[in-house]
Structures are given as structure tokens and as C-alpha cells.
Chains A and B, each alone.
Chain A
Amino acid sequence: MKYITFHNLAKLLDALKEDYRVFVPVKKSESGDYPIKKGAQRFYKEYDKFSDDIIIGEVRPFEPLKAFFVSAREKVADNFSPEVPHTKDKPFALVGVKNCDLKQGFKVQDHVFNNHDFQDPFYIKNREENLIIAADCTCAIDTCFCLATGNQPYPEENFDINLSSVGDGFIVEAAPTRRAQKFMDKYHSLFDIAKDYQLNERKEQRQKVIKKVEENIKENNIPSYDTLKEDIIKKNWDSDVWLDESKTCVECAACTIICPTCHCFLLYDQKDKEKMERLRIWDSCMIKDYARVAGGANPRPKLWMRLRNRFEKKFDFFPKVGGFYACTGCGRCISACPAMIDIREVLVRLVKGNGKNK
């Protein structure tokens, strides 16, 4: 294991700009004090030079990582040309990525966009070329419950390099891949050998964050990974929980847009002079016309049906087709919802649910 100082990390990020568009998490708060002031969020910003607002540790940025792999709006076809558009774009280097996005997030996105039947050339290009410099969570915020969905608050897979904040720098862990090794070799002069006390500090730090997430889970009575496995959707199919929970929903779709696992999109065509271009834009199953067909039939005309559908997709469809939940425990949807619909509360009700009829 290696170690990098803050000073050298800045050098590293500067150097990366040559081959990548580098994105770092920043936090906008007046003082940058800790614990985090309520409402202060972390966002990805394109890196230019090192600045004080860059936060490598802490928790996941508000934006889901998927935005760098399936863009919110991108051109996917140019007239009738067989060329794949914009796959020659400069790749991204993504810094400070947290495990909720890496483990469960990629599990779902890979399942959708890189399955064997049909591969998505845009996603695969990004997956192959983007560089991921992950980081341990150094704290947990109130909405974090990753342990309940089977994730640790530190990177376990899908990264090239991981940084664990220790003292005035970071422990550097390289993934056992050729690309990561090449990276370590290229920038070897910026790294020192990690000392035992630093490795111990990383261990303690990780335990501290795990403990905080455990407290969150206990405080909110969040069902354990095992109880979620029971057929929670099927047994609550006719329950009043859906109507009840959807009462305040304003159908803004924030919960699905912000979700690192939600992957739905619509294809939108437009004409630029005489040329047609096809765009792919994020879509949401919470929107009324999402599943409507032109003939008029709509399988889910009511809002509560669409809320049920959102949970069915996450906790029934993906477990059945892929063997995993499509929830990372990142808590983004809780923060994003203007109607205070809380996925943790819904899960509690589903596990306790008695299938009461409406």
C-alpha cells in the first residue's frame, strides 16, 4: 500500500488533466465546518486547480455517478450514419467516488447496459475509459444506510485507485488490474510507502463510519438485508401503503433522477436543419405517461401504482433477474424528495406489512 500527501494529490490531479476531464467533489458551505450543516451538499465540479472546497472524503456527492456513464442527455444517433457518435470524447477521471455508487450502483448499470444480449456502446466506452479514483467515506450523514443494502462505507470493487484519508494525506490502494498498476508506475514519484500506523488509522476510521451507519439503521428501524429478501412487494401488492405514501408526491421524478441505480431513458428525435439526431434523455417511471402507449392504454394511471412500480423494480424485479437489490442505501432520494417521502419508512412498512387491502 502507498501513501500520498495532500500536496502530491494536487500534483496528481493536475497531471491527470492531460488525459482526462477530471471531476472532484466540492462542498459549498460558508465555513466548511464539521459536522456538516443541514442541507449542505457535495457536488462534482470539473477540476481546474486545487481549491479549499474540494472534499475527497466525507460522503457521496449529491449527483449520482451514473451521470458520467450514461449522460442525462446525449446524442446516440446521427441521421442514418452507422458511426457511434461522441465515443471519441476525452474520458473522465472521477475523484472521491464512494462505494454506494461503485458497488451496487455499477451492479445495476452494468446489468442493464453491459449485458450479453445487447451492449450499449456509449456505456461500454465510458466503463472502459473512465478512471475512478475512489475514496472511503470519512463520515456518515443522517440519510446513509448502505449497510442495510449490503454495502460497506468504503470502496470494495469497481475502482482503479482508492484513497483513504489518513492524517495529512491518503493511503493509496491500487486495484489488482493492469491499468491500476500502470497508473501507479507512471506516478510513482508522488507516492510514499504507507506505514503501519497509517494502515491502522484507516482501519479505525472505517470502523468509526460503520458504527455511525449502524446507529442510523438502528435509529430508523431500517430492516436488515435478510428481511428485505422476503417477498415484500408481493405480500404488500394490495396494501394501502402505496396510496398512503404517495399522497404528498408531486410527481417531480427527483427520486429516480438522483438514484444511482435508476436507468430508464427515453429516445428523443430532433431535426437539425435537414439532419436528424437522436438523443437519449433520462426518464422516470414516476411520470404519468411513462408506460402509456399511443393507443391510449396506460398500465399505471394512478400515482400510487407508479410508486409501487418504483419499489417493485428495486426490490422485486432486480432481485429476481439479477440477484441483487437496486438500492444502494445512499439516501439521495430521501434528501431530494420535496414531499418528504422516505424510502426507509416505506421499507419499514413493507417489511411489517400485513397486506391490508385498500
Chain B
Amino acid sequence: MERINNPYRPIEAEVLKVITETPTIKTIHFKPKEPIRFATGQFVEITIPGVGEAPFTPSSPPSEKETMQVSVMKVGKVTDKIHELKKGDAIGVRGPFGNGYPVDEFKGKEILVVGGGCGFAPLRSLMYEFFDRSGQLKKLFFRGGCKTPKELVYHDETKEWAKRKDLNLKLTVDAADSSWKGNVGVVTTILDDVKMDYKKGIGVVCGPPIMMKFATKKLLHMGFKEDNIYLSMEKNMSCGIGKCGHCRLGTYYACKDGPVFKYSEIKKLPEIWD
């Protein structure tokens, strides 16, 4: 028999560092024993040996070649264990899978990136990819929202981003505390001051389903074309190679045909926001 790689085998990786971002989100830095090259927006399956696997889009940029990062919200069996990881622990990585953002096609364009909650993770990778390609974009806007200031990920990094000349950044929280000086309200309330040619602009949206639904509606209302809105779909991706069936979305599998889709590709499919 011709030798075929085992697509279910995880590559061993060593945990280098664990950063606590918020009470429920941690960023894990790790080094795979065999290098894994990925495009921003693609995802990997992280294995906790003996516990299971879960899909994450790396939050680090592809230009970081030896190591990778994932930012993980504690919501279930695998993510609970990921939150217990320490430096030196062994984990497994499988991937990358699916299609990422077509960053080359964004050259010379005006881009609006809208993120919500844990959806900041894939967008962080994308933002660093943009920073690596500084000067290639005409304009770059980032609008992010989360529930409370405590739940804002990449707190120090976004402060640095705010100083960049090639980026217009604004953040909002649903409910403020005494530390918060910025906007209060959902993310769709901070989009009106984005000055660009909406009809030619690119919109990138990532966040919880309800936020993606309303942000997409808002972008369409502003004049963005359905072909120019990119969504990263969260489905139950398991095998990563379009075989196990779980992440089917109409005639697509989110793992193999996504997770990044143009809104025009999926708008007619049922169950996309559920």
C-alpha cells in the first residue's frame, strides 16, 4: 500500500508559556516538535493527551514560525484542561485545516476588522499579519467589543496598537466599570465613525454568533458588499478533513471549506447564526 499520512495523529508540542488574559481566557504559547506552517484564519486541533481535542484558530501570526499561540476560553472538558497547563507540559497539535483569510487579495484595500469577545483571538493573528505587511493596505480599522473591561483580551497589546499610525482602533464594552474611559455599548455602536468607501471596503467579522449576526447586518446597512464581508464560522469541527460530518453547513464543511467564508457564500444557508 502506498504510504498515506495519518490525518488523525497529533504532533507533539511543548508548552512554553501560559498567559492569563482574562478570568476565562488564557493564551498558551507552545512549540510543535515538527514545524506547522499555517495561514492566518486557518485552525488547528489541540490535543490534551487522554482528554480530547478541540479546534482553535491560532492567535499568533504565521510569521512566527517556530512557535504558535492559541487563546482559549474555558468552556468545556478540553478547555478546562488547557487552563491547567503549565510550562513544560506536552500537548498535541493537528493541522492546519481549512481556509484562512485571503490576505493577498486585501492589498491596496480599506479594511474594517470587527471583533467580539473570544473572536479577538483569530483577529489578533490577522492584525499582526497586517502589521507585518504594513503599507500594503490603504486604511485599517479595528473595532472590538466585549462584555466588561475585565473580559478584554490582549489588554496591553491593544494599548500599543492604539498608538500605531497605520491603524484606527476603537474598543467598547457592554457594561463599564470605574477603570473604563472608552465607549459603552455593543460593537455595532462604534462603527459609524469608520470613514472609508464602504462599497469597496473589506469587512472582517469574528465573534460570538449573535455579535456576528448583528455586525454583518450593520456592515450590509453601511454599504459593504456581501462578497466583501468575511466571517469566521464557529462549528463543531472535529476531524478537520470533511469526514466526521459534525461541522456541516449546507453543502460545506466548516473545517475544510471554511472556517473563513464570504457572507455571500453562506447567506442562503439555514442555521448559520445558530
Contact = CB atoms under 8 A, between A and B. Distances in A.
Given A294-B75, A299-B274, A77 B234 contact: no
Interface stretch (A45-53, A134-142, A270-278, A344-352): A270-278
Contacts of A276: 47, 49-50, 92
A117 B10 contact: no
A89 B241 CA distance: 25
B238 A118 contact: no
B50 A269 contact: yes
A172 to B, nearest CB: 28
Interface string A258-292: 00000111111111000010101001010000111
Contacts of A269: 47-53
A334 interface: no
Interface in B42-98: 47-54, 73, 75-79, 92
B246 A264 contact: yes
Given A121-B4, A269-B53, A295-B75, A80 B256 contact: no
A244 interface: no
A292 B242 CA distance: 17
B47 A118 contact: no
Contact of A271 (B8, B49, B235): B49
Nearest to B249: A299
B244 A117 contact: no
Given A80-B9, A117-B242, A276-B47, A293 B251 contact: no
Given A117-B242, A269-B47, A321-B251, A299 B271 contact: yes
A268 B51 CA distance: 8
Contacts of B238: 266-267
The dominant DSSP class at the B interface is loop
A76 interface: yes
Residue of A80, A112, A300 most packed against chain B (CB within 10 A): A80
A250 interface: no
Given A80-B11, A80-B12, A283 B73 contact: no
Contacts of B76: 294
A297 interface: yes
Contacts of A129: 1
Residue of A76, A115, A121 most packed against chain B (CB within 10 A): A121
B150 interface: no
Interface string A112-132: 110101111100110011000
A84 to B, nearest CB: 5
A285 B245 contact: yes
Contacts of B79: 294
B6 interface: yes
Residue of B48, B49, B73, B118 most packed against chain A (CB within 10 A): B49
In which size bucket is the chain A interface? 35 or more
Given A291-B236, A295-B75, A317-B248, A267 B6 contact: no
Nearest to A319: B251
A267 B52 CA distance: 8
Nearest to B7: A118
B244 to A, nearest CB: 5
Contacts of A83: 6
Residue of B9, B76, B208, B256 most packed against chain A (CB within 10 A): B9
Contact of B4 (A119, A267, A295): A119
Interface string B18-37: 00000000000000010000
A283 B247 CA distance: 13
Contacts of B200: none
A154 to B, nearest CB: 30
A283 B244 CA distance: 8
Given A113-B243, A283-B245, A320-B251, A84 B6 contact: yes
A72 B25 CA distance: 36
B84 to A, nearest CB: 15
Given A81-B9, A118-B7, A265-B243, A291 B49 contact: no
Contacts of B50: 269-271, 276
Nearest to B13: A80
A227 interface: no
Residue of A115, A119, A128, A293 most packed against chain B (CB within 10 A): A293
Interface in A307-340: 313, 317, 320-321
A344 B226 CA distance: 40
B31 to A, nearest CB: 14
Given A283-B244, A299-B274, A292 B8 contact: no
A82 interface: yes
Contact of A84 (B4, B53, B75, B242): B4
Contact of B244 (A79, A84, A265): A265
B243 A263 contact: yes
24 contacts: A77-B10, A80-B12, A81-B9, A118-B256, A128-B1, A265-B245, A267-B239, A267-B244, A268-B52, A269-B51, A270-B50, A276-B49, A276-B50, A283-B244, A290-B246, A293-B236, A294-B54, A296-B75, A297-B209, A298-B274, A317-B250, A317-B251, A320-B251, A321-B251
- What 4 pairs across the A-B complex have the smallest Cβ distances? A271-B50, A264-B245, A294-B76, A118-B241
